[in-house]
Amino acid sequence: MFTFKAFRAVDEPEICDMFIEGHANVLKEYGVTKVTSSNNDWKYNPFVFVVTVHDNSTGQVVSGLRIHVADTEFPLPLEGAIAPVDSKIFGLVGEYRERGGTGEIGGLWNSRMISGYGIGAIFLSRTSLVIAEQLNVPTLFALCAEYTLKPTLQKGFEIEENIGNNGTFFYPKLDLVATLAVLKDVENLPLALPVEREFILDLRKNLECTRVEETLKGPVEITYQLKIKNTDWRVKP
């Protein structure tokens, strides 16, 4: 029913446009029209990698997320979002960047037409950590909405309490609370729940496969195409 596809943003401009359109439509449904992380310049950014979910029956992109690798020339979206509240974010990201590289998982969205399956919140969020190993970044950040915080922590992230109000911010609107979380060991996921860790590590060994996954609405066939052709973000295209 669904295909998960991973790629470097600059390699697939047409799919990026499908991602952007779908994400914008979801944000509008929630009344959000101006969000830093929804800036579309990312599709030209050589440090951005994407996972999209395609409905096999229509070809439409119905869910997606991005990983931005931190670079001095291309700051992470969360740096721009958090800086007006707490300028310490620049130094914090810089510290992690100098320790071998870091990045941010963001831009996760899910079309209402597939809501209830857990495609985005469960399966797509897991694939972000599957492809993160290919990018060879030892750490990752995530700026979480209230409803994504728990599943993010279940995958081994910790709340970064040295920023904001013990890690929380009012963003992108005053009635939405966001929390900054950090994953300090992308390779081994020592703090992840066993079920999450086992799923992610197994999929890292089977980047190209088709499986029947048990979703919240019953079994669903998912084809994973998670091997990124062009992973070396240290070499600009």
Q: How far is C-alpha 187 from the chain's CA centre?
A: 16
H or E element at residue 148: helix 146-154
- pLDDT, residue 63, reads 94
Fold observed for domain 2-225: Aminopeptidase (3.40.630)
Instruction: Give the 3-state secondary structure of residue 20.
Output: helix
∠ CA 124-156-227, nearest 5°, is 40
Q: Residue 103 has what pLDDT?
A: 96
Q: By three-state DSSP, how is residue 136 classified?
A: coil
The whole-number pLDDT of residue 122 equals 86
**Structural domain boundaries of the chain?**
2-225
Q: How far is CA 116 from CA 1, 51, 197, in A?
A: 15, 19, 23
CB-facing half-sphere around the CA of 82: CA atoms within 13 A: 30
From 68, 90, 79, select the one nearest 36 (Cα to Cα): 79
**pLDDT recorded at residue 89:** 93
Interaxial angle between packed helices 125-135 and 194-205, expressed in degrees from 0 to 180 and rounded to the nearest 10: 50
Sequence-distant contacts of 22-27: CB under 8 A, at least 24 apart: 22/60, 22/61, 22/62, 22/63, 22/64, 22/109, 22/111, 23/64, 23/107, 23/109, 25/111, 26/109, 26/110, 26/111, 26/112, 27/109
CB neighbourhood size of 235 (10 A): 8
What pLDDT is stored for residue 146 in this prediction?
Answer: 84
Q: What is the pTM of this model?
A: 0.91
Reference 121, options 150, 142, 92, 79; nearest CA is: 150
Identity at 159, one-letter amino acid code: I
Per-residue pLDDT of the chain (237 residues; tens, 9 = 90+): 899 999 999 999 999 999 998 888 887 777 766 655 547 889 999 999 999 999 999 999 999 999 999 999 999 999 988 888 889 999 999 999 999 999 999 888 888 888 888 888 889 999 999 999 999 999 999 998 888 889 999 999 999 998 888 888 876 554 678 899 999 999 999 999 999 999 999 999 999 999 999 988 899 999 999 999 988 777 665
**With contact defined as beta carbons under 8 Å apart, do 9 and 107 qualify?**
no
Contacts of 197 (CB under 8 A, 6+ apart): 156, 189
Amino acid at 196: E
pLDDT at 23: 86
